[in-house]
Structure 1
Amino acid sequence: MLHSKLKVAAKPILLSALAVSACLAATVSWAKSDYPSHAITLITPYSTGGDSDLAARNFSAVAQKYLGQPVVVVNKPGASGVIGSDQGRLANPDGYTLLLSRPGSQAILPAISPTKTKYKWSDFTPIGLLELNPYGCYVRGDSPYKNFKDLEKALHAKGAKMNYGTAGALTTNDMGPKLLFDTLKLGDKVPTQIPYKGTGEATSALLAGQIDFSCSSIGPANGLIKAGNLRALFVTTPERLKSLPDVPTSKELGLAKMEQITGWSGISGPPGMPAEIVAKLWKAMEETGKDAAWIRATENAGSVPFIKGPTDAKTFTQGQYEVYHELGKSLGLIDQVK
């Protein structure tokens, strides 16, 4: 009798538990379908004024039209992009905290400094790619180095007494010069790297005469180059840039290997993001990529629109990781950079 009563009593409890479970499932489903219901934070892992910052702000200004909510850019610079990237990785996978992906933080660091980097290249949810950033090296407008040959002669003569600015170790700003020095076979005449928190700060230091040259995505320096404040010595694109037709390509100068170095931006999220949210974000990215205002802002920043979805973004990032891993091995850099 007691056993029978327990069975009868258990039925309401079971039904109640099932009802709660169904209610929770419905709430989660509703939350996903309602996404986004408030502002989205977009972390950029470098300081203001650089190509990552420009990419994030150009995206946020237009994407909110297609998401129906503000996209708030938050700069989290430090440790060559690791600090901001790791915050993006550890965020709640609800789609309200995203990361502006960059080659330094998402491919180079995991490839060359795996034991010191807190994450792997694959520890993020890829949402899409935004743009490519033509890369090059430049000096101050009044520099005695009128062209690359002038700089090359100086490097061979007194390279160890020279310096260059970067956005930190193991960024494209750093890897480009490392590959350049190896190609030029400078030996013990390698210049000293002066690391900053972002490309903008490195460019400011160059303008102030604190460093001899810098290499980075050309976009943020484009206006300064056209105004004569900076002088571009070469770009790593296969063809000369339409915006800088007088600047030779690295291949023209016999530096074809430098074409491996290029900048790019994408959007990613923490691991475990629901597929429905990823799809909504990608749809907004896709619409943003067709928007004339975004295209104009991206091109004005010296970048090339390169809208690709989650699958292509994952394949591209893996390819970049493999390029820099091989480059790191050839230069003897794997886990050697402090």
Structure 2
Amino acid sequence: MLKSSKRLIGKSILAGLVASALGVSPVLAQNYPNKTITLIAPYGVGGDSDFSGRNLAAVANKLIGQPVIVQNVAGASGTIGSQKVRTSPPDGYTLLISRGGSQAITPALDSNTPYKWNDFTMISLLDFNPVVCVVKPDSPYKTIKELIDGIKANPGKLNYATAGPGTTQHLAVEVMLRDVGLPSSAAMMIPYKGGGQASAALLGGEVNFLCNNLTTMVGQIKGGAMRALVTSTSNRLKEFPDVPTAKESGIPSLEQVMGWSGLYGPPGLPAEVVNKWQAVLKEVAKDPAWLRGNDTVGAIPAIRSPQETEKFAREQFELYSKLGAELNLKK
């Protein structure tokens, strides 16, 4: 009996040492969560990651049994916040609101990105965000064709806002310019810290146009503060039936550019944590408040399994790697 007890104690100590070496508490599975969970939004307040994080947190708070808060850690095209999560302990208390820009585009285009597209534990997708190109209502450009003609007539003079190089806002314009036979230098990119600041720059008259995710701008478009010229969806938007699609506008490649948010964790996140969030997200997907939040900003619900999320993330990375090579955008 004594020898058996010693063996059991030895196994427990060994398990604890292994768990400690991995940075995971040996009682994590039974107790998770037992304190506040922080969702890192890697772009500024008012942007798409901020919206997705807060829309999720508002519902998850009720379902997971602990407070869920959003912390904005903006900068460097979303890589600062993303890296903060990647290097956090894999205990489930620091998670990432992943974005197509920070998790697919930047790793695909910039070899200096401090992480790879798959250097995270992928929990789920959250939502898709169509891209819409807009101008101010007093802009002389009433259609996307008129804007493109203006760029052609004034090479290098018209400017546009982005959340930084290699983001959705940047790549959307690059794709549009390529489709009409113009170089990157035809329009000047002005980088900001997030999609919200990029939208504010347009409203403030700092830039001539903006191609941004609809979630960030739906209120301004509905309110008449912005004029939408084109959408990246294959069909016209239900909320904006007068806005032509990319294909209708002669820039079909713009359909390839679509914003998205997901929920990622640090590498090595225990399966118990992933499973807990998957169970919560199944309830989130049916929650009227979460669905209503997406409807309000034109986001498309997209909760998926970890396997489906990884497959989608891989396809996105490969897509932007190919586009980056074609557009000569790789660093």
CA distance in 1, matches of 2:72, 2:205: 26
2:97–2:263 Cα contact (<8 Å) kept: yes
CA distance in 2, matches of 1:31, 1:130: 25
- Aligned with residue 60 of structure 1, among 52, 57, 60: 57
CA distance in 2, matches of 1:18, 1:226: 65
- Aligned with residue 70 of structure 1, among 54, 63, 67: 67
SS at match of 2:263: strand
Q: CA deviation at 1:282?
A: 1.3
Could you tell me which residue of structure 1 aligns to residue 48 of structure 2?
51
1:50–1:200 Cα contact (<8 Å) kept: yes
1:220–1:302 Cα contact (<8 Å) kept: no
Over residues 183-227 of structure 1, what are the superposed CA-to-partner deviations in whole Å (9 max), with x where a residue is unaligned? 111237511110000011011110111100011101221111111
For residues 255-334 of structure 1, the aligned pairs below 5 Å read: 255-334=251-330
Over residues 239-275 of structure 1, what are the superposed CA-to-partner deviations in whole Å (9 max), with x where a residue is unaligned? 0011111111011111111100000010000000111
Could you tell me which residue of structure 2 aligns to residue 4 of structure 1?
none
Could you tell me which residue of structure 1 aligns to residue 108 of structure 2?
111
Mark the runs of 5 or more structure 2 residues left unpaired by the alignment: 20-24
2:91–2:269 Cα contact (<8 Å) kept: yes
Mark the runs of 5 or more structure 1 residues left unpaired by the alignment: 1-10
Over residues 45-78 of structure 1, what are the superposed CA-to-partner deviations in whole Å (9 max), with x where a residue is unaligned? 0000011111110000001211111111000000
Change (3 A) 1:334 1:173: same
- Aligned with residue 127 of structure 1, among 123, 129, 141: 123
Q: CA deviation at 1:17?
A: 7.2
For the pair 1:145 / 2:141, whether they are aligned, the reply is yes
Over residues 87-128 of structure 1, what are the superposed CA-to-partner deviations in whole Å (9 max), with x where a residue is unaligned? 0100100111000010010001111112x1000001000000
SS at match of 2:33: coil
Q: What is the one-letter code of the residue matched to 2:163?
A: A
Q: CA deviation at 1:289?
A: 1.0
SS at match of 1:161: coil
Q: CA deviation at 1:136?
A: 1.4
Q: What is the one-letter code of the residue matched to 1:22?
A: S
Could you tell me which residue of structure 2 aligns to residue 102 of structure 1?
99
1:55–1:265 Cα contact (<8 Å) kept: yes
CA distance in 1, matches of 2:296, 2:156: 36
Q: TM-score, normalised by structure 1?
A: 0.92
2:123–2:274 Cα contact (<8 Å) kept: yes
For residues 170-249 of structure 1, the aligned pairs below 5 Å read: 170-187=166-183, 190-249=186-245
Q: CA deviation at 1:31?
A: 2.6
Change (3 A) 1:34 1:77: same
CA distance in 2, matches of 1:182, 1:222: 26
Q: CA deviation at 1:159?
A: 2.9
Q: TM-score, normalised by structure 2?
A: 0.94
Identity level (%): 46
Q: What is the one-letter code of the residue matched to 1:283?
A: A
Q: CA deviation at 1:12?
A: 7.6
Over residues 286-337 of structure 1, what are the superposed CA-to-partner deviations in whole Å (9 max), with x where a residue is unaligned? 21111111000111121011111100000000000000000001011111xx
CA distance in 2, matches of 1:29, 1:332: 48
Q: CA deviation at 1:24?
A: 7.3
CA distance in 1, matches of 2:276, 2:65: 11
Which structure 1 residue ranges, 4+ long, deviate > 4 Å from structure 2?
A: 11-18, 23-29
Could you tell me which residue of structure 2 aligns to residue 93 of structure 1?
90
Q: CA deviation at 1:44?
A: 0.6
CA distance in 1, matches of 2:154, 2:37: 49
2:42–2:80 Cα contact (<8 Å) kept: yes
Q: CA deviation at 1:157?
A: 0.2
Could you tell me which residue of structure 1 aligns to residue 22 of structure 2?
none
Could you tell me which residue of structure 2 aligns to residue 5 of structure 1?
none
CA distance in 2, matches of 1:17, 1:320: 49
Q: CA deviation at 1:283?
A: 1.1
Could you tell me which residue of structure 2 aligns to residue 19 of structure 1?
9
1:155–1:189 Cα contact (<8 Å) kept: no
Give the alignment's Cα RMSD to 1 decimal: 1.9
Instruction: Name which of structure 1's ranges 185-194 and 260-269 shifts more when overlaid on structure 2.
Output: 185-194
CA distance in 2, matches of 1:291, 1:24: 42
Change (3 A) 1:148 1:58: same
